[in-house]
Structure 1
């Protein structure tokens, strides 16, 4: 029974996808002038037809549902939506919404992950005292992080009750699916310079505003997420395109060209390119261990002092110092 019905049901899902999201490209649907909330409503209507196993499910139906999801995986059918938009929600009537259709392939390139970012953050909050305001702040930051991940090409499957059910059904069928983790995002970012990469950070080094991160706050959210589990084991920091220096230049962490990490960067204000932004201070020990950061000590200060002092102070002739100090 399952060998006949399961493929037929998968074909039904394919036809439903074509019905709700018509277009010539089975991997991408472009919707122009359609409000984002309307697209999400249509996605939920489509996903409603994916079967779900529950505690009260009859054994025959349970086996059939597993067979359907096994069939979806075996044929790598592109039935799961990743939703991107070119405009923020407050101008969605003028936006273009792109729905990428992904499969359950575990190949590194283009691999898609289920989204539990908000649930994960709220779970961490349970261990601390928090109120409605802090919960709202967490939700806003998670939304910004999701938007950034999607903007740089990370395949994050649209999150709703229906996709949560699909995740558990795929997992129950023995299919290797996973929720996104900091490791997954780091591995994705490491590919940004590959010729066939789907990671669209930008050509580095460049000014932060010229990259797809755009804002310092967005970069900070991404750094904090990628370093979230950094104390749990060995993490490869080398090559991650997550470093911004005090002059606003975005670049990779490079142990061959380590940057100073200190609160005293203003002492050498003309050499901002040599100092990491202070957002990395809480990761000081990890960055020093990875040798992508270095301490700013008295010896380093002495070596750089000549670059900020007036030229006449640097020559061998004696000069009066009073003129270089405020009276």
Structure 2
């Protein structure tokens, strides 16, 4: 196992321990309810079965808990079945109130607004619009934008077996790990306007990624997976602003990674994803996040 693969493995182990400890603490306070919400949220997010996801959404729709709101908002954005998205949209209209933390409340309201505007299914758009009208007054001014915001672009992937959607998820995770104080959103989530950014005093940036190559070489019973990944970042002035870059407002970085895995289709597929994710983690931590922090400080100093 390569150094990056070991790092990925250690990170997963640490994450599992943290989740287990948090689960234990919550279990003492309210065992059945906490465990049920976590379990249904996982089912809604990850189950390949439409019936399981629908059942989980129905169950969560009856729970007034911020984790239920978070899970349903994620389903509204990403579930592939319109019936699940429509149910999530209707439920959010009932569950969102002042008791939901501002960050989660704003994210859920933004998900409703995005679905009402651009969901592919007319039923989902109608449900989302009705719910949005009920709760839009609860949104924080200017969405409580953070001091630094990152608009996540649509990545490109030239590598078979590495989907662009998976790369986008990995980019978001890498930036969250490298800079948890940065706000971030994809275009589907909804991007703030130039006026909103100016009113909030937020320095904004656009980040994208590209998977340029993933090569698999057989070495005995093992697969040697190598990948080349790039990230690009530039100053961004809002969803409705024209691009007008100045010197020093854009940068790019490229990294390579290597992962060893068993020579089986499933192991190779996982190794491809792990290789790309490991390189993105390194680029975000060592190149992209530091560039954004420096550029954000410069923009604030200039009064932009």
Could you tell me the TM-score, scaled by structure 2's length? Answer: 0.25
- Larger-gyration structure (1/2): 1
TM-score by length of 1: 0.24
Instruction: Kindly indicate which of the two structures has a greater share of residues assigned to helix.
Output: 2
Greater relative contact order structure (CA < 8 Å, 6+ sep): 2
